[in-house]
């Protein structure tokens, strides 16, 4: 069985947000004061594993665990272990802020996690604290080191670049990636929900500007390989490091979209930049253990996957949910 949407795109990639909670409060992602979902509304680890299995039985080859911060969810390793054993799954991956990796890197690897994306927006401790509001840079750097020591290869850093906050650090970030044998992606900020202390429009920095900045210090060779995702990659000098640019504003990548997202409360989002969704929690709670009914609901949901994203309407954000509830 496979999941093909109305625009003939094959859906092979599921991103699962396992919690909306986080130990950071990044300025572009969350407000300082947050009300999180009550636990009863969040899918249990058991329900998450059942949904993961249903998707792999429908042809999904890759699952990425994200959040919120996945590693703050209690007993989340049990979920990694279950998903890591799914037949038909080629890749289990994780996006994390890195703060808990010194504790979990080894276990993640033995649970079958293949690759890690670690978010890192600044290499300056004071600035890192301002961007995350509470995060400690040293802990994240130690987490990156722990992940390398655990044997993870081609770890990818994710940096959201904001014009007045960290755009002057892109050269340092690429140099850091190169020195530590990492890849790095620069992300244009997406207008998801409204956040306080931060005016998104004033902070926008396009991938093109970043590439121009970097080309003064590095030789960037465009790579033709496509990941089916929004990143476009360049090789840095003669190193193994690749630099990617995720440009939801300046480059449209919807035609090759192969993914859907499951929110922590069990809403299957068919597109990051649209509100089209189906409530899978209602299905798993009404018919616990009924995998056939769950799979039928997923097949039906794919029929409403929109053709492309529309983050804004008349220049106003139209998506009201924040990234931590979406599963970025």
Closest CB to ligand SAM among residues 111, 118: 118
67 binds ligand SF4 (CB under 6 A): yes
Smallest gap from residue 324 Cβ to ligand SF4 (A): 4
73 binds ligand SF4 (CB under 6 A): no
Residue 82 interacts with ligand SF4 (CB under 6 A): yes or no: no
- 190: partner contacted, choices ligand SF4, ligand SAM, none (Cβ within 5-8 A by kind): ligand SAM
The burial of 138, by beta-carbon neighbours within 10 Å (0-12 exposed, 13-18 middle, 19 or more buried), is given as: exposed
Residues 236 and 243: their CA atoms lie apart, in Å, by 7
Q: Which is nearer to ligand SAM, 96 or 258 (CB)?
A: 96
Minimum CB distance to ligand SAM, residue 9 (Å): 22
d(C-alpha 77, C-alpha 100), whole Å? 12
Rounded to whole angstroms, the Cα distance separating 183 from 32 reads: 30
Task: Look at residue 277 and give the partner it binds from ligand SAM, ligand SF4, none, a contact being a CB closer than 5 to 8 Å depending on partner kind.
Answer: none
Q: Which strands sit side by side in the sheet containing 156-160, from one edge to the other?
A: 220-222, 231-236, 242-246, 183-187, 156-160, 115-119, 91-96, 62-66, 13-17, 259-262, 267-269, 277-279
Cβ 317 to ligand SF4, closest distance in Å? 17
Give the pair of three-digit tokens for residue 34.
């947050």
Report the residue from 3, 14, 30, 284 that binds ligand SF4 according to the rule CB under 6 A.
Answer: 30
Q: Establish if 128 lies at the interface with ligand SF4 (CB under 6 A).
A: no
Stretch that binds ligand SF4, among 22-30, 102-110, 253-261, 267-275 (CB under 6 A): 22-30
* Residue 261, strand partner residues: 15, 269
As measured in angstroms, the least distance from the Cβ of 208 to ligand SF4 is: 24
69 binds ligand SF4 (CB under 6 A): yes
Residue 259 CA to residue 277 CA, distance in Å, equals 13
Least distance in Å: CB of 215 to ligand SAM?
Answer: 23
The residues that touch ligand SAM, with contacts defined as CB under 6 A, are 22, 28-29, 66-67, 69, 95-97, 119, 158, 160, 187, 189-190, 192, 323-324, 328
Q: Which of residues 100-119 bind ligand SF4 (CB under 6 A)?
A: 119
Q: Which does 128 bind (CB under 5 to 8 A by kind): ligand SAM, ligand SF4, none?
A: none
Residue 207 contact among ligand SF4, ligand SAM, none, beta carbon within 5 to 8 Å by kind: none
> Which of 68, 84, 143, 248 is close enough to bind ligand SF4 by CB under 6 A?
68
Instruction: Kindly give the pairing relationship between strand 220-222 and strand 231-236.
Output: antiparallel
- Quick one: 29 or 162, whose CB is closer to ligand SF4? 29
Q: Are 155 and 148 in contact (CB under 8 A)?
A: yes
Q: Which two tokens stand for residue 94?
A: 């994780």
Minimum CB distance to ligand SAM, residue 274 (Å): 16
Residues that bind ligand SF4 (CB under 6 A): 22, 24-26, 29-30, 67-69, 97, 119, 323-324
């Amino acid at each position: 069985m496979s999941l093909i949407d109305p625009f003939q795109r094959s859906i092979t990639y599921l991103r699962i947000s396992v919690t909306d909670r986080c130990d950071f409060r990044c300025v572009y992602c969350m407000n300082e004061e947050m009300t999180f979902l009550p636990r009863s509304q969040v899918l249990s680890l058991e329900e998450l594993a059942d949904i993961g299995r249903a998707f792999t039985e429908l042809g999904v080859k890759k699952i990425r665990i994200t959040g919120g911060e996945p590693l703050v969810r209690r007993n989340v390793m049990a979920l990694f272990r279950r998903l890591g054993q799914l037949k038909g799954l080629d890749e289990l991956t994780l996006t994390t802020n890195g703060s808990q990796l010194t504790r979990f890197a080894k276990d993640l690897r033995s649970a079958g996690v293949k690759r890690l994306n670690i978010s890192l927006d600044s290499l300056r401790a004071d600035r890192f604290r301002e961007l995350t509001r509470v995060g400690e840079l040293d802990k994240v750097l130690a987490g990156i080191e722990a992940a390398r020591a655990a044997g993870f290869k081609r770890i990818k850093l994710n940096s959201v670049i904001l014009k007045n906050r960290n755009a002057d650090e892109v050269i340092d970030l690429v140099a850091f990636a190169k020195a530590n044998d990492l890849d790095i992606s620069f992300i244009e900020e997406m207008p998801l929900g409204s956040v306080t202390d931060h005016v998104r429009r004033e902070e926008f920095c396009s991938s093109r500007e970043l590439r121009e900045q970097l080309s003064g210090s590095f030789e960037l060779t465009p790579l033709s390989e496509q990941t089916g995702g929004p990143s476009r990659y360049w090789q840095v000098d003669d190193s193994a490091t690749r630099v990617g640019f995720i440009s939801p504003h300046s480059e449209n990548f919807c035609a090759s979209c192969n993914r859907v997202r499951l929110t922590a409360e069990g809403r299957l989002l068919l597109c990051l930049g649209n509100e089209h969704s189906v409530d899978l929690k209602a299905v798993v709670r009404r018919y616990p253990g009924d995998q056939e009914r769950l799979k039928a609901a997923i097949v039906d949901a794919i029929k409403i996957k929109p053709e492309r994203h529309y983050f804004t309407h008349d220049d106003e954000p139209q998506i009201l949910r924040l990234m931590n509830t979406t599963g970025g």
